[in-house]
Structure 1
Amino acid sequence: MDFNYSPRTQELQARVKAFMDQHVYPNEARYWAELRENTEAGKRWTPLKLIEELKPKARAENLWNLFLPESSHGAGLTNQEYAPLAEIMGRVPWASEVFNCSAPDTGNMETIERYGTPEQKQRWLAPLLEGKIRSAFAMTEPAVASSDATNIESRIERQGDHYLINGRKWWTSGAGDPRCAVYIFMGKTDPDAPRHSQQSMILVPADTPGITIVRPLQVFGYDDAPHGHMEVVFKDVKVPATNMLLGEGRGFEIAQGRLGPGRIHHCMRLIGLAERSLELMCRRASSRVAFGKPVASQTVTQERIAEARCMIDQARLLTLKAAWMMDVAGNKTAKAEIAMIKVVAPNMACQVIDWAMQVHGGAGMCEDFPLAYFYTIARTLRFADGPDEVHRNAIAKIELGKYA
């Protein structure tokens, strides 16, 4: 088997790395400083000037919309080709937006590209691809166990030439950004239909009357402004019937098409976080002395570094395999591998980051290093796109099916 990246991928890796070295890493401190300044000025939920300054630079270097497989937009990369680029971007949590490759916009763009009408694409996909607007995905609900999406209670009811939407959503990432112009909303159109045909997805303009952002939800004290993970109430929200995606009762079909690539992106970004954490761990261990010798000389530190190296490489290879299978055989064929990476990558990242924090001592817990924030991201992704338990259940059923 040939595990080398293609020449095209290697060339893009070099260019993305160079951009990160020149424009992103040197501005990490500025990112947090600008957010503090906005907060002190009472404008915490304001787009950061830094991001808007870097976007044209990335676009000028043709490092823009690098995702979107099966599309004429962007770079036209396969999932396997894009995955290592997502890893590089993932080393800094906010970097993906600079390249217009950040969630949930990537998944929403793929959804509209794959399932939208020409009119929907013109109104929403075009400005998203330009980076002029942002979007949100409204699926999870506080009142039900949303790990089973058939539990969703929000309603999408047809009334003549429009739909009336009612429901309470939370963890609606991106809804805090004032540039958020559209939601993809999942709700039930027919509660009496077969279990997986009750749900639909519909495009909801963010300025439609009846939408109330209740609050930003915090993750271990971080609110991820100006992006945010919001609790949102939809009360008698009226949208044209032409906003329906694909058709009534096809929400699960859309979800399966949307979540596969999104999970690949999340996992590769996590691998980038883990790689950066291991790098920080090695540098810290080599520079600190405890009990008469460098921390790097302590056997426990060496064992953890070695184990981290193994875990990261294993997760990367499994993720690349899943991406390759999606490209050659489709999401359905790769469903076991997609489920496996969603278990393996977040758990791996949590462990590696935790070990890196331990080597940093008290510094690993504060804002002097990015590790504490990295951990919140990794831990969150043990829920996002489905909790570990759901994916393990799916993997087990596939495995048991081989011997039924």
Structure 2
Amino acid sequence: MNFSYSPKVKELQQKLNRFMEEQIYPNEKLYEQQLNEQQSRWSHVPPVMEELKQKAKAEGLWNLFLPESEYGAGLTNTEYAPLCEIMGRSLLAPEVFNCSAPDTGNMEVLVRYGTDKQKQQWLVPLLNGEIRSCFSMTEPHVASSDATNIETDIRKEGDGYVINGRKWWTSGAGDPRCKISILMGKTNKDADRHEQQSMILVPLDTPGVKIERMLSVFGYDHAPHGHAEMTFENVRVPADNIIWGDGKGFAIAQGRLGPGRIHHCMRLIGAAERALEELCKRVQSRKAFGKPLASQGVIKEWIADSRIEIEQARLLTLKAAYMMDTVGNKEAKAEIAMIKVVAPSMALRVLDRAIQAFGGAGVSDDFPLAAQWANARTLRMADGPDEVHRAQLAKLELQKQKDNVYSLH
């Protein structure tokens, strides 16, 4: 495994870092100010966002996440990793480069499994950044960490499907630009356990689709993006809105979540890097008990441990990305599961140390640490909780050891 960066990646890193310094960081506060200028934080998108998107597109910093050169920049997962890390330094940045969840995952689903009609109608405007999308999978009344529990009913009726169910944590549904949801539900409850589910495209303006409420995350509303609890009551969509085919929902979910999981991990490394930088600046500029905070022994341990943990997580992320590129997502499932457990916890530890070093300022919104911490904490549950990934890893390890014993006899 060679993790050295190609000339192409180095050039993109330089362009991204310059864009972050000149455009993203200076506009983080302006974005929030513009969001608060209207009576409702859900009614509009801050104008600075569209301005930044146009600038990013003009510089070729657009759709970098898609490996397919036909649609994206033609980067491998390994090449994209250091670029995604840079974007993760700011909660604002991923959308600016059209590399934000859940749009990235939805675009990947449409690229892999969508029909020509579905691609033309929904993928193209998503790739152009003209609309946004959401992903409706999690449900309030079942343990959705087991996707086979999903109860939303997708019933074939005439020349279409009728959908009934309740979803929550449908991220992105609050955005006024959100036009389409990829919804997961059951089309055949009598089929094999992993072939009961299907995914279907549901335009949000379809009669029967209703946003019941927007949910907060540790007090953050994440407007105008947000996370919705939604009901689907007798929602009728055409038969050709089904993705891939009846019973393919679970398989699509596994294909979708692999890249999504590792993208989260890449961004978390960037968040941790920025937190460590802020920590180092802070402790060198503040004094307590007659000497700089940086001279306190415990602070030095925080810095050293943070650097060690970031490097470990980065290497595991790169290994997982390399395996996805060389042997495929399915063969890389153990490495993807490992980094999905490691990266959020690592970022939380680094962010917690930075918050502690900042004191009261660390828990305020004057600095990005508190918001990044809240985001990182959700990622111990999103795209599968730690416990599910650990269970899968244990199962794989036990099987591997069992196979090793057999091979000796």
Superposed pair shares fold, TM > 0.5: yes
The corresponding residue for 1:164 is: 162
TM-score (norm 1): 0.98
Aligned-partner Cα distance in 2 for 1:369–1:70: 37
Determine helix, strand or coil for the equivalent of 1:81: helix
Equivalent residues in 2 for 1:314-333 (5 A)? Answer: 314-333=312-331
**1:319-345 deviation line (CA, Å, top 9, x unaligned):** 111011001111100000000010000
**1:239-264 deviation line (CA, Å, top 9, x unaligned):** 00000000000111111111111111
The corresponding residue for 2:347 is: 349
**1:160-203 deviation line (CA, Å, top 9, x unaligned):** 11000011000000000011010000000001111100000001
The corresponding residue for 2:21 is: 21
Question: Alpha-carbon deviation of 1:3?
Answer: 2.9
| Pick aligned residue for 2:151 from 143, 150, 153 | 153
The corresponding residue for 2:289 is: 291
Aligned-partner Cα distance in 2 for 1:136–1:42: 20
The corresponding residue for 1:228 is: 226
**1:369-394 deviation line (CA, Å, top 9, x unaligned):** 11111100000000110000000111
The corresponding residue for 1:260 is: 258
The corresponding residue for 2:273 is: 275
Question: Alpha-carbon deviation of 1:50?
Answer: 0.8
| Pick aligned residue for 2:248 from 244, 250, 271 | 250
Amino acid in the other structure paired with 2:359: G
User: How many corresponding residue pairs?
Assistant: 402
8 Å Cα contact 1:263/1:338 also seen in 2:
yes
Determine helix, strand or coil for the equivalent of 1:193: coil
The corresponding residue for 2:9 is: 9
The corresponding residue for 1:241 is: 239
Equivalent residues in 2 for 1:79-158 (5 A)? Answer: 79-158=77-156
Question: Alpha-carbon deviation of 1:42?
Answer: 3.2
8 Å Cα contact 1:271/1:349 also seen in 2:
yes
Q: Percentage identity across aligned positions? A: 66
Question: Alpha-carbon deviation of 1:8?
Answer: 1.2
Aligned-partner Cα distance in 2 for 1:168–1:187: 10
8 Å Cα contact 1:281/1:356 also seen in 2:
yes
Determine helix, strand or coil for the equivalent of 1:403: helix
8 Å Cα contact 2:41/2:223 also seen in 1:
no
1:65 aligns with 2:63: yes
**1:50-90 deviation line (CA, Å, top 9, x unaligned):** 11111111111111111111351121111111111111011
Question: Alpha-carbon deviation of 1:43?
Answer: 4.6
Shifted more, 6-15 versus 135-144: the winner is 6-15
Question: Alpha-carbon deviation of 1:286?
Answer: 0.6
8 Å Cα contact 2:24/2:92 also seen in 1:
no
8 Å Cα contact 1:45/1:225 also seen in 2:
no
Determine helix, strand or coil for the equivalent of 2:401: coil
Question: Alpha-carbon deviation of 1:268?
Answer: 0.5
Question: Alpha-carbon deviation of 1:2?
Answer: 3.2
Aligned-partner Cα distance in 2 for 1:246–1:70: 19
Amino acid in the other structure paired with 1:370: P
8 Å Cα contact 1:45/1:227 also seen in 2:
no
- Structure 1 unaligned segments of length 5 or more: list them: none
Q: Which runs of 4+ in 1 moved over 3 A?
A: 42-45
TM-score (norm 2): 0.97
Determine helix, strand or coil for the equivalent of 1:110: helix
8 Å Cα contact 2:42/2:176 also seen in 1:
no
Determine helix, strand or coil for the equivalent of 1:176: coil
Determine helix, strand or coil for the equivalent of 1:356: helix
Amino acid in the other structure paired with 2:56: A
Aligned-partner Cα distance in 2 for 1:48–1:148: 37
Aligned-partner Cα distance in 2 for 1:247–1:12: 38
The 1:334/1:43 distance shift into structure 2, 3 A limit, reads closer
**1:253-300 deviation line (CA, Å, top 9, x unaligned):** 111111111111110111110000001111111111011111111010
Aligned-partner Cα distance in 1 for 2:167–2:104: 20
The 1:135/1:194 distance shift into structure 2, 3 A limit, reads same
The corresponding residue for 2:390 is: 392
Aligned-partner Cα distance in 1 for 2:401–2:363: 47
Aligned-partner Cα distance in 1 for 2:384–2:2: 32
Q: CA RMSD in A?
A: 0.9
Amino acid in the other structure paired with 2:176: P
Aligned-partner Cα distance in 2 for 1:34–1:291: 41
Aligned-partner Cα distance in 2 for 1:341–1:31: 31
Aligned-partner Cα distance in 2 for 1:119–1:5: 37
Question: Alpha-carbon deviation of 1:207?
Answer: 0.6
Aligned-partner Cα distance in 1 for 2:112–2:204: 21
Aligned-partner Cα distance in 2 for 1:16–1:45: 30
Aligned-partner Cα distance in 2 for 1:353–1:326: 28
8 Å Cα contact 2:41/2:224 also seen in 1:
no
Amino acid in the other structure paired with 1:3: F
Equivalent residues in 2 for 1:364-383 (5 A)? Answer: 364-383=362-381
The corresponding residue for 2:399 is: 401
- Structure 2 unaligned segments of length 5 or more: list them: 403-409
Aligned-partner Cα distance in 2 for 1:338–1:257: 12
| Pick aligned residue for 1:56 from 51, 54, 57 | 54
